[in-house]
């Protein structure tokens, strides 16, 4: 997966646009516009899809499985939380476990 940066404009300085630049995982295309699509961070993508009539057009190969938090639901109920930044490691571990069984 490529490292995309959010292309949403957050303002202008003179005649220069200031792009968000946060890590982006969603390709967004606005309906009825001849521009785009644009890569966007989760916050900007969500806002544009919900409020500005945009669609998520991210290619399947580029989709990222994201979770805000995963909480332990095991019998012992430790409530351990895993933040987004560790999910790649979790998926890698799950993949290795699947191959072992």
- Indicate if 54 and 76 belong to the same structural domain: no
* 48-58 mean pLDDT: 92
**Host domain of residue 31:** 4-62
- Indicate if 9 and 54 belong to the same structural domain: yes
- Indicate if 58 and 12 belong to the same structural domain: yes
Quick one: which H or E segment has residue 97? helix 87-100
The 3-state secondary structure of the chain, one letter per residue:
CCCEECCCEEEEECCEEEECCCEECEEEEECCCCCCCEEECHHHHHHHHHHCCEEECCCHHHCCCCCCEEECCCCCCCCCEEEHHHHHHHHHHHHHHHHHC
- Indicate if 83 and 37 belong to the same structural domain: no
- Indicate if 51 and 76 belong to the same structural domain: no
- Indicate if 10 and 58 belong to the same structural domain: yes
- Please state the pTM of the whole predicted model: 0.58
Q: Is the pLDDT reported for residue 51 higher than 90?
A: yes
- Indicate if 13 and 58 belong to the same structural domain: yes
**Per-residue pLDDT at 94:** 75
For the chain, the 3-state helix, strand and coil shares in percent, each to the nearest 5, are 30, 30, 40
* 1-12 mean pLDDT: 83
């Amino acid at each position: 997966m490529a490292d995309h940066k959010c292309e949403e404009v957050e303002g202008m300085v003179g005649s220069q646009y200031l792009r968000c630049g946060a890590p982006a995982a969603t390709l967004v295309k606005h309906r009825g516009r001849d521009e785009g699509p644009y890569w966007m961070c989760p916050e900007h993508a969500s806002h544009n899809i919900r409020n500005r009539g945009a669609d998520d057009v991210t290619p399947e190969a580029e989709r990222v499985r994201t979770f805000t938090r995963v909480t332990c639901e095991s019998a012992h109920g430790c409530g351990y939380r895993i933040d987004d930044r560790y999910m790649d490691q979790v998926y890698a571990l799950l993949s290795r476990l699947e191959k072992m069984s």
